[in-house]
Structure 1
Amino acid sequence: MRAQFLLSALPILGAQGARILQANDDGWAELYIRSLNEALNEAGHDVVLSAPADNQSGTGSSDKEPSPRSDACEYDSCAANSGPVGSNSTNTRLNWVNSYPATSTRYGIDTFGPQIWNGEGPELVVTGPNVGTNLFLAVPFSGTIGAAVYASHTAGIPAIAFSGASTGNLAWNTSPVPARSAVYALLATQLTEAVLASGTPYLPSEVFLNVNFPEITDDCNGPANFKWVLSRINPGTFSDPDTESCGSTRLPTETSVIDAGGCHISVSVGDATDKTTAPAEKQAVVLQKLGSLLTCLE
């Protein structure tokens, strides 16, 4: 199931092609990020990928200069002794960095992107989809989140972190592409286009979106099956009220959204300064931007 075969399932949201930088923590040759790369390109965006040479899951916001490699990249996607950074031999928009996810994002913003975009940087940074969810207690340790937070907090570029509950690491050239990779790619493209269509600034400052997809099942197997729910990262027992949504000033936690079943996707507005839930006034901006896409938890 290739991503382009599913593009017709997405609503036309009116977004113009944008300069998008991709990153992740599972590695540049992981299938999920490559399926999303394909979907974003098919949607007309100007995409550059910059991700770790190997799986760097659980490295949070670690950032250090890349060192030369002595062995091949994951899935033999680069040769041994290839140096500290590199690019696909036939597509210089696909790049690897022998370091952490945040470092890969930094190189994408400062080096790889401007080389492609005539000196300009990305308008939006998209990380993942991560292989596995990034919910609540996992958020501070996730390299996928760390990459998004680097973009938002350090570089001042709006960022979205995607994660999917269906697991199983696969190489970029797996054939046929499993439904889970193609569907996650299309869902991520749908939300990305909704954010872009909402106009600049795409997100409030110091904010990232933490998006978690449920498992792909017989009932949840195509973009039209899914429902998007505004959520929060951490429980709000002692927190200030959230923005009012679905008749309440307390948003459901992203964990409760995923656990509820029913093909619900959690969309949390994260605070890029500490990786917790952003305050109500910033949630309200996102709610207004994405209102036509969001639904209440049933």
Structure 2
Amino acid sequence: MRTQLLLAALLGSVNAIRIIHANDDGWAELYTRSFHEALLAAGHDTVLSAPAENKSGTGSSDAEPSPRTTACQYNSCAPSNAPIGRNESSPRLNWVNSFPLTSMRYGIDVISPSFWNNEPAELAVSGPNVGSNLYAQVHFSGTVGSAVFASKERKIPAIAFSGLTGGTLAWNTTPVPTRSLVYAQVASKLVDAVVAAGKPYLPEDVFLNVNLPKVEGECTDASKYKFVLSRINLGVFSQKDVAQCGSDRLPMEAVVTGTKGCYVSVSVGDANDKTTASADKQKIVRDKLQGLFTCLP
């Protein structure tokens, strides 16, 4: 029995990887903390590096962190006159007193190396954002901005997650509401699918922009969620998309998340301009995750 348990543990950790995690709503936001816990539960070696406070809508802004002279959001850290800090009882939880992109940069370059014996992050994730990041919102999103930085500047495959059900919540909210748990479970499922598909997880200079529908009705059950390959921007003047579900034009993200049936939009984004990536890069992602995607009704 002991041998069987050991084998199960070893098999369960085969796909465990080093993940750097950021967001734009703040290091103590519940959606992010729930996702962090889900990644750890899945066996991943995850380090959180996020802003000391809510920095939504700051896009790709970047500035060296300044000394923190007031408490972090939700009183989650005391004034310290330090530019970065961490939860001493859970040192994988780190704050950076600057923008989301800066938090990702510091997480990759400064904070995570000590956890991983100077090995690099294998995957970067951001979010889930409290609220959507669809179409034009993408360009202003700090959640997206941090993921794009990881992909473009550090060549780390990256995924930005956003949940349409809004409402900020403190990290220590009890009981943890269904929406936070569901988003964490569904986001973790996609991460595991990307990892299971093998390296390279994504094409170079690509990020995934993922929007999860509202947690209501049947969508309070994580097992009901289905993933649909989508696009970020309008395709009126764009080249054809990868052929999918009988069409060479992928559905817009808002169409996917607005369709009844718990559909998650997964767009292959170009990290150079935050628009939809080319059909050849879409195809790579589609083929790697071919068992994951479904078609809209």
Common topology (TM > 0.5):
yes
Is the aligned partner of 1:211 residue 2:210?
A: yes
> Residue in 2 aligned with 1:255?
254
Alpha-carbon distance in structure 2 between the residues aligned to 1:179 and 1:223: 10
Pair 1:113–1:13, CA change in 2 (3 A)? same
Alpha-carbon distance in structure 2 between the residues aligned to 1:113 and 1:249: 41
> Residue in 2 aligned with 1:244?
243
SS of 2:125's equivalent in the other structure is: strand
Deviation, 1:54, is: 0.3
> Residue in 2 aligned with 1:27?
26
| Alignment check: 8 A CA contact 2:13 2:43 kept | no
| Structure 1 residue ranges without an equivalent (≥5) | 1-11
> Residue in 1 aligned with 2:292?
293
Structure 1: which 4+ aligned runs deviate by more than 4 Å?
A: 12-15
Instruction: State the Cα deviation string for residues 200-258 of structure 1 (Å, max 9, x = none).
Output: 00000000000000000121111211111000001101100000000110000111111
Is the aligned partner of 1:151 residue 2:150?
A: yes
Alpha-carbon distance in structure 2 between the residues aligned to 1:29 and 1:256: 31
| Alignment check: 8 A CA contact 2:59 2:140 kept | yes
> Residue in 2 aligned with 1:43?
42
| Alignment check: 8 A CA contact 1:133 1:164 kept | yes
Which amino acid counterpart does residue 278 of structure 1 have in structure 2? A
Is the aligned partner of 1:98 residue 2:97?
A: yes
Alpha-carbon distance in structure 1 between the residues aligned to 2:81 and 2:222: 39
> Residue in 1 aligned with 2:8?
none
Deviation, 1:121, is: 1.6
Alpha-carbon distance in structure 2 between the residues aligned to 1:191 and 1:113: 23
Alpha-carbon distance in structure 1 between the residues aligned to 2:240 and 2:214: 30
Deviation, 1:262, is: 1.6
| Alignment check: 8 A CA contact 1:228 1:266 kept | yes
| Alignment check: 8 A CA contact 2:55 2:99 kept | yes
| Alignment check: 8 A CA contact 1:129 1:163 kept | yes
Deviation, 1:26, is: 0.1
> Residue in 1 aligned with 2:275?
276
Deviation, 1:82, is: 4.0
Alpha-carbon distance in structure 1 between the residues aligned to 2:240 and 2:107: 37
Alpha-carbon distance in structure 2 between the residues aligned to 1:19 and 1:126: 11
Deviation, 1:259, is: 1.7
Which amino acid counterpart does residue 245 of structure 1 have in structure 2? Q
SS of 2:55's equivalent in the other structure is: coil
Instruction: State the Cα deviation string for residues 145-176 of structure 1 (Å, max 9, x = none).
Output: 00000000011100000000111100101100
Deviation, 1:120, is: 1.2
Aligned sequence identity (%): 60
| Alignment check: 8 A CA contact 1:163 1:213 kept | yes
Alpha-carbon distance in structure 1 between the residues aligned to 2:260 and 2:139: 25
| Alignment check: 8 A CA contact 1:13 1:193 kept | no
Q: RMSD across aligned C-alpha pairs, in angstroms?
A: 1.2
Instruction: State the Cα deviation string for residues 42-97 of structure 1 (Å, max 9, x = none).
Output: 01010000000000000000011000011100000110134110010111111000
> Residue in 2 aligned with 1:109?
108
SS of 1:153's equivalent in the other structure is: helix
Which amino acid counterpart does residue 141 of structure 2 have in structure 1? S
Which amino acid counterpart does residue 78 of structure 1 have in structure 2? C
Count of residue pairs the alignment pairs up: 287
Alpha-carbon distance in structure 2 between the residues aligned to 1:268 and 1:199: 19
SS of 2:91's equivalent in the other structure is: coil
- Identify the range of structure 1 (177-186 vs 222-231) with the bigger mean alpha-carbon deviation: 222-231
Deviation, 1:290, is: 1.1
Pair 1:268–1:291, CA change in 2 (3 A)? same
Which amino acid counterpart does residue 176 of structure 2 have in structure 1? V
Alpha-carbon distance in structure 2 between the residues aligned to 1:244 and 1:205: 21
Deviation, 1:261, is: 2.4
| Structure 2 residue ranges without an equivalent (≥5) | 1-10
SS of 2:85's equivalent in the other structure is: strand
- Identify the range of structure 1 (258-267 vs 40-49) with the bigger mean alpha-carbon deviation: 258-267
Alpha-carbon distance in structure 2 between the residues aligned to 1:186 and 1:72: 30
Alpha-carbon distance in structure 1 between the residues aligned to 2:149 and 2:116: 20
Which amino acid counterpart does residue 231 of structure 1 have in structure 2? S
> Residue in 2 aligned with 1:7?
none
SS of 2:220's equivalent in the other structure is: coil
Which amino acid counterpart does residue 260 of structure 1 have in structure 2? T
Is the aligned partner of 1:58 residue 2:61?
A: no
Instruction: State the Cα deviation string for residues 106-150 of structure 1 (Å, max 9, x = none).
Output: 001001110110111210001000000000010000000000000
Alpha-carbon distance in structure 1 between the residues aligned to 2:62 and 2:120: 19
> Residue in 2 aligned with 1:73?
72
| Alignment check: 8 A CA contact 1:15 1:193 kept | no
